[in-house]
Amino acid sequence: MAHRFVDIDGVRVFYRETGPADAPTLLLLHGFPTASYQFRRLMDALGDRYRLIAPDYPGFGLTEAPEDFTYSFDRLADVVEGFVTTLGLDRFVMYTFDFGGPVGFRLATRHPEWIAGLIVQNSNLYEEGLSDLARGMIANRPGVEGAEANVRQILELPVTRGQYEGGTTDVELIAPDGWILDQHFLDLPGRKEAQVDLALDYHSNVALYPEWQQWLRDHRPPALIVWGRGDVFFPEAGARAYLRDLPEAKLHLFDTGHFALEENLPEIAPLIADFVDNLKKDTPMKIAVIGATGNLAGAVAREAAARGHQVTALGRENMDVTDPASIKEAVAGHDAVVAGIKGPDRLVPRGALALLEALPLAEVNRLVFLGGGGSLEYAPGQRFVDSPNFPPQYLETARDQAEALGILRSAQTPVEWSYVSPPPVHLVPGEKTGTYRAEARDTPITDENGESRVSVGDYASAIVDALENASFVRERFTTAY
């Protein structure tokens, strides 16, 4: 195992790394009041099979932050985001524990393309997953009388030790090294002040729970949930709540406390190995791309092929997109269809209807429909295609694409469709950068300048991500920077 430092915007981030560089990567995000040290045994257990990387956040462990660093969960996520970018990690399984949830889900919403899968261990995203004790601590926030004093009470040795030993079945299995080392770092100059600031900011995480839950529903990442049911902060209900948004997730409960790895590593490590070995993205898909000679569908076809998927290019010469029988014959045996349709005489909506009829007959249940940005809204109920200054040369196609969206949304169909809208104006030539955002919404994604823009390469990457992760099912999504 290597022990390293890397500079991220003036923060000297300490991290541990082990495993083959070309193996599947796991990013291990620690909790409070610990650091990457909590993953030492897991990294030893799995380091011969996977690349495991565990950083210390600012204010924790061996990471060194400047005196003027602002301790908030947004800033912790900023530093971890910079860490991931600096190490060149573009796809990984994310392990979230405790504070690792608020940090990690900020990363996930910023970079959904990074997340190959989730391992959730006593990391809460749900109101019912908050105990009365946790709710009392979250009530401490800036301006609340006595809040800082309340927080400081949990930064002392008896509480630190209690977080390790509470809820366990056999306290003799809990090594004292963890809580002794955690308290050492808590007692360093400035560390308790940092923890007070973070505790008073914890309410910002609860406010984001709905957004993170929506992210789970939109992206449907493969997930393994392991949980110590004796956790005094995050009870068992928080673990089970994930199944509402990720019904295919694997849930395993253990009769232990908050730090489940301390007592149940021998049971949890094999579950993690099985989960990583069976991720969906590791199995190439057979994807039929209709309109693959076109600009956008062609970009999707190239991106899918570059990722190792088997791509069948379909066009007018080998299929009639308005004939269900022709479609059925062409796409049978594929795992998914990507449809980029363009033409006169309402070809787009007629193609949408024919696809919805043909795909169940062909036993293909996944469709990504390349739609337009004109049906996005610039104001509530106000679509770009209906605005008086919409370019007349694109009007017929934009109206056809909007009609196709209506057909998909109103269909009673087993087809798991997604409709993707590019930015209404700035879908620009360019390669993949991997830094785009993708969200289920009816308005464009805009940057800090109010502009919605994405390259064709990133647009194609977002679509292949949606296929690999089975995300945005029966939803319209859009992508931009």
Which of the residues are catalytic?
A: 258
Instruction: Confirm if 165 and 213 have CB atoms less than 8 A apart.
Output: no
Whether 376 and 424 have beta carbons less than 8 Å apart is answered as yes
| 300-309 long-range contacts, CB within 8 A, separation 24+ | 300/338, 300/340, 300/370, 300/460, 300/463, 300/464, 301/338, 302/460, 303/432, 303/457, 303/460, 303/461, 303/463, 303/464, 304/338, 304/464, 304/467, 307/464, 307/468, 308/284, 309/284, 309/285, 309/464
Are 218 and 439 in contact by the 8 Å Cβ rule? The answer is yes
Is 366 in a helix, a strand, or coil? strand
d(CA 358, CA 330): 10
Burial string for 298-315 (b: 16+ CB within 10 Å, else e) reads: bbbbbbbeebebebbbbb
Cβ-in-10-Å burial (0-12, 13-18, 19+) of 335 comes to: middle
| Residue pair 99/57 in contact by the 8 Å Cβ criterion | yes
Burial group, residue 158, by CB count within 10 angstroms (0-12, 13-18, 19+): exposed
From the number of C-beta atoms within 10 Å of its C-beta (0-12, 13-18, 19+), residue 183 rates as middle
**Is the peptide bond prior to 158 cis by the omega test (within 30 degrees of 0)?**
no
- Which residue is associated with the tokens 């798991």? 416
